[in-house]
Chains A and B, each alone.
Chain A
Amino acid sequence: MKEEGTTTLSELRVRDSAPVAFVAGDSLRRKLESFGIQSGSLVTLLQKRPAVVFQCDQVELAVEARVARAIHVRAKVAPSRR
């Protein structure tokens, strides 16, 4: 269910930034909105394991991989495949 030009937060490389395209899942979208993470916010990936850590504005957030896969971002760089 990938859109043209988007990838998910979990597929970014560490230290890459990208603007959020959309968050899949209504309850998750509402939850992340309250942290200031919504379509258009710039997110920076900081760490992938054991939990995904990313930054948005001055909020540093740790989430499980399932949540990171639901955050779709507009990729500026080719996503790294491991």
Chain B
Amino acid sequence: VSCKYGDAGEVLLVGQANVGKSVLFGQLTGHYALASNYPGTTVECFTAKGPGFRITDTPGIDRLEAGSGDEQLTLAVLRERPDATVLQVGDAKNLHRTLFLTSELVTLERPMALALNMADEARQLGVELDRERLQQELGVPVVTCTATTGENLEQVRRAIRDARAPRDPFQAGPAWGCGLGCPGCGAALRADRVRELAQRAVRRRTYPIRTWAVRLGEWTRQPLTGIPILFVVLAFFYYLVGVVGAQKVVSFLEIEVFQNRVLPLLRRGLLDTPVYDLLLGPYGLISMGLVYALAIVLPLVALFFLAFGLLEDSGYLPRLAVLADALLRGIGLNGRAVLPLVLGLGCGTLAVVSTRVLRTRKERLIAVLLIGLAVPCSAQLGVLLGLVSGLSPAALAVTVVTIVTQLFLVGRLAAWLLPGPASEFIVELPPLRRPRAWDLARKTAARAWWFLREATPLFLAGTLLLFLLDRTGLLQGLIAGARPLVTGWLGLPGEAAQVFLLGFLRRDYGAAGLFALARGGAFSTWQLAVALVTLTLFLPCIASFFMMAKELGWRTAVKIAGFLIPFAFLVGGVVRWVAPV
């Protein structure tokens, strides 16, 4: 076993969370993998071909035992591909931590190599590594690299080719310990050997003065400074999505581009053809479906993801987790849940997948339920922010307070009803980093493109459905059927029924419909508040429903939907009857 060279055909990137596996994966394969500065970005395995090998990116794992769903995935991949070479990606500035995982990986006795990433940050901190010594003691190729800049990529490739089964320098010989051989003793001694090797292999260490990033990092996690900073961040989001997005970009695209240029041109070209109504009528695939998707929702989603990307790449989100921990604890979650919940403000479907970073099923259930209930996705949020001007201050306050209250009320109730303990809150705070424009642009573009591919077919299908319902006269019937609920109970005009119908397909689609209706002056300010509350509390969309079913099982997903839909109408109705409509 000792001298077996790896078959470099199949390579697994394995390492602790937030050490840069996905960036390295992108550099080695030329395929883009979503990467950011927070632990738990990658919750799925991705495989792509690099020059001479097939390489798989895995979710971060602290040690070779699974705590959460994404970690189980990594263990499963390691088990399923017993012949694959393991490239451990580690943090060059935290050798101790990196070697801890190494000490477990070497027991697998399979060909491996070690890439110590973030060499640039290590240099800045004055951390100098004795690569030769590590190589000698571990018996595998060890390289330092900086994945973001591409430093030493060639050496990483060579290390993969030269990967070989490691020695185990962490074995505790019989000379150590009391000799009684109790089970915990061996593990403790191994941990000591890890620390000793880390100490031997780090040559020089000087602690630098506190940089601006360190100071800002401190400010963001302390309540006194952190809460004002949070408000600045929120104001920035509002400005970017609500003002620039919903007011400027959307009106430009919808009115200037589509209403004034594209649609008139198409109308002239297609006049008197049989497809005119299908494409350009009141429920036309282009005039409604494409306009909603491209002119209303896409710019909002793209701008949200741009702002979200800034937060991700700067390393702000884990610090937000510190501030929010106590608040989330009240609803059966902990600071860890900040990541899925904030991502839910971007896209509920993605957020449901990202609940994998939570430790217990109870926490996942609560998080998914709340994402479905009260976390508006970026499209909705943008529409909501765009409609804020149509709300009186009182109506706005009632809308926001109602949604936030429901979030905590339902969370509290779920935490109380669902069995099981909460997991402990332990989150690593990575250094704050200056986001790189190119990475940010690429990430935003990748997500916007993902959204387009995901949402446009559903938007078109929804429009087609409406078109057919309209043609067959069923739409009038449905709207009449929904009248007791929509008009009688919620007190909204009849057209609002179609908003909820669309909302069944995608909540953002419904929101876009609401946007169009509201701008046409269909609602009074309180009616708008009722519609916004109901639509926000509504089931997010078909895609996120399917994702819930995939992640938590059909029975759970159906139960969640069965709760959310009546509950949304119930709360909407309460707002209507309480408010001075």
Chain A residues in contact with chain B, CB under 8 A? 26, 28, 30-36, 38-41, 46-47, 49-51, 53, 57-64, 66-67
> Known contacts being A38-B191, A53-B221, A61-B428, is A33 close to B318, with CB within 8 Å?
no
Q: Jot down 12 A-B pairs with beta carbons below 8 A, ordered by A.
A: A33-B100, A34-B63, A34-B97, A38-B191, A38-B192, A50-B326, A53-B429, A58-B94, A60-B429, A62-B321, A64-B329, A64-B334
Is there contact, CB below 8 Å, between A59 and B424? no
Query: A35-B97, A50-B322 are contacts. A40–B192 as well, Cβ < 8 Å?
Result: yes
Are B428 and A31 in contact, with the CB atoms below 8 A? no
A63→B426 contact, CB < 8 A:
yes
Q: Are B424 and A62 in contact (CB under 8 A)?
A: no
**Is B325 interfacial (CB-CB < 8 Å)?**
yes
Query: CA–CA, A4 to B146, complex, Å?
Result: 46
Name B67's closest neighbour in chain A (CB-CB): A31
- A51: chain B residues at CB < 8 Å are 322, 325-326, 335, 425
B157: Cβ under 8 A from any A Cβ: no
Q: Do A57 and B101 touch across chains, with their CB atoms under 8 A apart?
A: no
Q: Which 4 A-B pairs have the closest CB atoms?
A: A34-B62, A36-B96, A36-B97, A64-B425
Q: When A31-B62, A57-B94, A58-B125 are in contact, do A67 and B426 touch as well, CB less than 8 Å?
A: yes
Q: In the bound complex, what is the Cα–Cα distance between A39 and B187 (angstroms)?
A: 12
Taking CB atoms, residues of chain A closer than 8 Å to B222 are 47
B93 interfacial by beta-carbon distance below 8 Å: yes
Q: Which of B93, B96, B318, B321 has the most CB of A within 10 A?
A: B96
Set B127, B198, B424: member contacting A66, Cβ < 8 A: B424
| 0/1 string, B81-110, CB within 8 A of A gives 1 | 000000000010110110011000000000
**Is there contact, CB below 8 Å, between B424 and A67?**
yes
In this complex, the member of B65, B101, B424, B431 whose beta carbon has the largest number of chain A beta carbons within 10 angstroms is B424
Chain A residue with the shortest CB-CB distance to B326 = A50
A39–B188 CB distance below 8 A: yes
Chain B residues with CB under 8 Å of chain A are: 16, 62-63, 65, 67, 91, 93-94, 96-97, 100-101, 125, 127, 184, 188, 191-192, 195, 198, 217-218, 221-223, 318, 321-323, 325-326, 329, 334-335, 424-431
Inter-chain contact A61/B429, CB cutoff 8 Å:
yes
B96 proximity list for chain A (CB < 8 A): 36, 41, 57
In the complex, what's the smallest C-beta–C-beta distance from A18 to chain B, in angstroms?
Answer: 16
In the complex the two chains form, is B195's CB within 8 Å of A41's CB?
Answer: yes
B223 touches A49 (CB 8 A): yes
B94 neighbours in A (Cβ, 8 Å): 36, 57-59
Q: CA–CA, A39 to B100, complex, Å?
A: 14
With A and B bound together, what is the CA distance between A40 and B326 in angstroms? Answer: 30
| Distance from A78 Cβ to chain B, minimum over Cβ atoms (Å) | 25
Bound complex: CA A28 to CA B425 (Å)? 11
Q: Which residues in B have their C-beta under 8 angstroms from that of A50?
A: 223, 322-323, 325-326
Verify A58–B93 contact, CB threshold 8 A: yes
On whether the beta carbons of A62 and B335 are closer than 8 Å, the reply is yes
- What CA separation (Å) do A53 and B100 show in the bound complex? 22
**A-B contact number at CB 8 A:** 103
Interface pair B97/A63, CB less than 8 Å apart:
no
CB distance from B538 to the nearest CB of A (A): 32
Q: Which of B195, B223, B318, B321 has the most CB of A within 10 A?
A: B195
**Beta-carbon contact of B195 and A64 below 8 Å:** no
**B325 near A64 (CB under 8 angstroms)?**
yes
Chain A interface main SS type: mixed
Would A59 and B62 count as touching, CB distance under 8 A?
A: no
- Minimal Cβ-Cβ distance residue in A for B93: A58
CB distance from A37 to the nearest CB of B (A): 9
Cα distance A59–B19 in the bound complex, in angstroms: 12
Give the residues in chain A near B322, CB-CB below 8 Å.
47, 50-51, 53, 62
Residues of A within 8 A of B97 (CB): 34-36, 57, 59
Alpha-carbon separation in the docked complex, A60 to B220 (Å): 14
For the complex, give the distance between the alpha carbons of A50 and B220 in Å.
Answer: 12
Q: What is the chain B residue whose CB lies nearest that of A35?
A: B97
Task: Give the residues in chain A near B325, CB-CB below 8 Å.
Answer: 50-51, 62, 64
Question: Cβ of A62: which chain B residues have Cβ within 8 Å of it?
Answer: 221, 318, 321-322, 325, 335, 425-429
Evaluate contact between A63 and B424: CB separation under 8 angstroms.
yes
- Of chain A, the residue at the smallest CB distance from B95 is A57
Kindly state the separation between the CA atoms of A21 and B96 in the bound complex, as whole angstroms: 18
Nearest residue, chain B, Cβ from A32: B426
In the bound assembly, the distance between CA atoms of A67 and B323 in angstroms comes to 17
When distances are taken between beta carbons in the complex, the residues of chain A under 8 Å from B321 are 62
Given contacts A61-B429, A66-B424, contact A47 B221 (CB under 8 A): yes
B96 nearest in chain A by CB position = A36
Given known contacts A30-B63, A36-B97, A61 and B426 CB-to-CB distance under 8 angstroms? yes
CA distance A64 to B67 in the complex (A): 18
- In the complex, what residues of A have CB within 8 A of residue B93's CB? 58
Q: Which residues of A contact B323 (CB under 8 A)?
A: 50
Q: How far is the CA of A58 from the CA of B91 in the complex (A)?
A: 10
Across-interface contacts of A47 in B (CB, < 8 A): 218, 221-222, 322
Chain A positions within 8 Å of B195 at CB level: 36, 38, 40-41
Minimal Cβ-Cβ distance residue in A for B118 = A58
* Option from A26, A40, A46, A64 in Cβ contact (under 8 Å) with B424: A64
Docked-complex contact B218 and A46, CB < 8 angstroms: yes
Least distance between B331 CB and chain A CB atoms (Å): 15
Name the residue of chain B whose CB is nearest to the CB of A38. Answer: B191
Interchain CA distance A40-B196 in the complex, whole Å: 11
Complex Cα distance A31/B222, Å?
25
CA A24 to CA B281, docked complex, whole Å: 69
Residue in A closest to B226 when the chains form the complex, CB atoms: A50
Q: How far is the CB of A23 from chain B (nearest CB, A)?
A: 11
Compute how far the CA of A62 lies from the CA of B425 in the bound complex, rounded to whole angstroms.
8
Residues from chain A with a CB closer than 8 A to the CB of B16 are 34
Q: Bound state CA distance, A40 and B194, in angstroms? A: 12
Q: Are B218 and A63 in contact (CB under 8 A)?
A: no
Q: Measured between alpha carbons, how far is A39 from B329 in the docked complex, in Å? A: 29
